Amino acid sequence: MPGIDVVPVGDAAAIAILGETIDEATVRATWQLADTVRRRMGESALDVVPAYASVLVRFDPTRVGLAQVMACLRGAATPTESIDGGRVRTLRVGVRFGVEFGADLDETANEVGLTVQRYVRTFCAAEYRVAFVGFLAGFPYLLGLPPELATPRRATPRDRVPAGSVAIAGAQCGIYPRVSPGGWRLLGTTRATVFDHTRTPPALFAPGDRVRFEVVARLDDAGAEVEA
């Protein structure tokens, strides 16, 4: 893998940096790398954290050395084991749009010169993919927002974003699993259970999942369906 950079993160973690941009090819490479590292390190990896263009590994320095971990990350960049293609799931997420359910929808549509209806239609026509889950328990970072809908995040974040908010920031798209401070633009609300600590796995979304958003007329209908 050209250009992969492996550096320490303190003395108990290391990170492989695959690039500096957000694009599907790089994201896929992070899934592969994370999978390979998990397999090879087993329990000596306390956490393997993929993101858009990097994979961080946290470890116990009393059990394994930094140099070993960094070597493993470098080696994992060219996987020799075949990656299990796996079933790719598609999740259909119901969303109640409208300014009472997504406080920034009108303004955002206006900023890109579209009517709200056109904005929502374009938003829902796209197919998204989960790049990784981070920031908050269960929060999915989605690739696939049509470029004509992209707008920078709000200049001032809110102290309180409602749970289930479907939101965008720049070209990123995500769903707030719970009430949280946040600076992303809120478009609508879903009632899908994005995170449930009693469920296995606890997060609804996983890297690689395809996601489609659907307009629903009533908030109660705004759940999620999984098509395996």
Partner 1 sequence: MARYGVSPSGAADWFSARAANLLVGNDACAPLVETTLTGIAFELTKPARVAVTGAVAPVEIDGLSVKLWQSHAAAAGARVKVGLPQRGIRSYIAVAGGIDMPLVLGGASTDIGSGFGGFEGRALRNGDELSLTTPVEASNAFDAYSLQATPSWKSPVVLRIVPGPHRRLLSESAWTQLLSSEWKVSSRSTRQGVALEGGPLRTGPTDIVSAGACAGCVQVTSAGLPVVLLAEHQTTAGYALVACVISADLPYAAQAPPGDVVRFEPVTSARAALLREHLERILASGASPTAPPLATGFFEGW
User: Exposed (0-12), middle (13-18) or buried (19+): which is 222, by Cβ within 10 Å?
Assistant: buried
Amino acid at 88: V
Under the criterion CB under 8 A, does residue 17 sit at the interface with partner 1? yes
Q: Which residues does 24 contact at the CB level (< 8 Å), separation at least 6?
A: 129, 143
Should residue 182 be labelled a site residue for partner 1 when binding is judged by CB under 8 A? no
Question: Does residue 157 interact with partner 1 by CB under 8 A?
Answer: no
CA angle 40, 70, 143 (to 5 degrees): 75
Q: Does 83 bind partner 1 (CB under 8 A)?
A: no
The Cα–Cα gap between 151 and 107 comes to 10
Query: Distance between CA atoms of 91 and 129, rounded to whole angstroms?
Result: 10
150 binds partner 1 (CB under 8 A): no
- Is 139 a binding residue for partner 1 by CB under 8 A? The answer is yes
Q: Is position 56 an interface residue for partner 1 (rule: CB under 8 A)?
A: yes
Measured CA to CA, the distance from residue 186 to residue 114 in angstroms comes to: 16
- Is residue 53 a contact residue for partner 1 (CB under 8 A)? yes
> Binding partner 1 by CB under 8 A: which of 42, 87, 156, 197?
197
Question: Nearer to partner 1 by C-beta: 58 or 118?
Answer: 58
Residue 171 within binding range of partner 1, rule CB under 8 A: no
For residue 165, count CB atoms less than 10 angstroms from its CB and return exposed for 0-12, middle for 13-18, buried for 19 or more: buried
Q: Residue 57: beta bridge partners?
A: 14, 48
Residue of 134, 103, 91 lying closest to 225 (CA atoms): 91
Shortest Cβ 112–partner 1 spacing (Å): 21
Q: Which residues contact 38 (CB under 8 A, 6 or more apart)?
A: 45, 48
- Which residue's CB is nearer to partner 1, number 120 or number 142? 142
- Asked if 152 is part of the footprint of partner 1 (rule: CB under 8 A), the reply reads no
Q: Least Å distance between CB 111 and partner 1?
A: 20
Find the shortest distance in angstroms from Cβ 120 to partner 1: 26
In the set 75, 79, 98, 134, which binds partner 1 (CB under 8 A)?
Answer: 134
Which of 69, 105, 133, 145 binds partner 1 (CB under 8 A)? It is 133
- Which residues make up the interface to partner 1 (CB under 8 A)? 7-13, 15, 17, 20-22, 34, 46-56, 58, 61-62, 65-66, 132-139, 141, 177-178, 195, 197-198, 201-203
